[in-house]
Amino acid sequence: MNTNEQLAEARVASAFLEVVDVFSDAIDGDRYLTVLLQAAEVARVNDGALVIDDGSGTLHVAVASGDSVLALQRDGSALRRSSLATCLSHGIPVTEEFAPGDVLFEPYVGEAIRQDFRFEYLFPLRYRDRVMGALVLLDRRDVRLEPAR
């Protein structure tokens, strides 16, 4: 990995960690979100649903159980391997995929609904006051989020 790639990865990690810091008490009481963010280079995560970017331009919708999240936490290599390979090696099935540029998100939405993730929340990922992307949080519950103070 060259220096530019390392810097880009660090920027993304910082952006995700900022979101985790702000919202962890409200939405991440079981720490699944934090663990999964640490295990994947680029991830959009909930405590059971995970969307990962494998670097090829394809986003994969996966579903993670509590046991597979604990396995990720125990495996130090999860931080060094590709997010897709890491998830597959820990038994997190990739259930659907879609192209990020595709305006039709039926496969993504359909799979989420099949897995009973009916509520969606969007949070900006910021790094040095720039929005670097968005965290898409899916949940089975209607979570009442309080604004960060």
Complete DSSP assignment for 12-47 = HHHHHHHHHHHHHHHH-TTSHHHHHHHH-SSEEE-S
75 or 50, which is more confident: 75
Span 63-88, average pLDDT: 53
Residue 9 has pLDDT above 60, yes or no: no
Contacts 24+ apart (CB under 8 A), 123-129: 123/19, 123/23, 124/19, 125/12, 125/15, 125/16, 125/18, 125/19, 126/15, 126/18, 127/11, 127/12, 127/14, 127/15, 127/18
3-27 helix and 32-39 helix, angle to the nearest 10 degrees = 170
pLDDT at 126: 43
Please write the tens of the pLDDT for every residue from 78-128: 444 455 565 566 555 554 443 334 333 445 556 566 767 666 555 444 445
Residue 136, pLDDT above cutoff 60: no
Rounded percentage of the chain residues whose pLDDT exceeds 70: 1
CB distance 51 to 59 below 8 Å: yes
pTM: 0.31
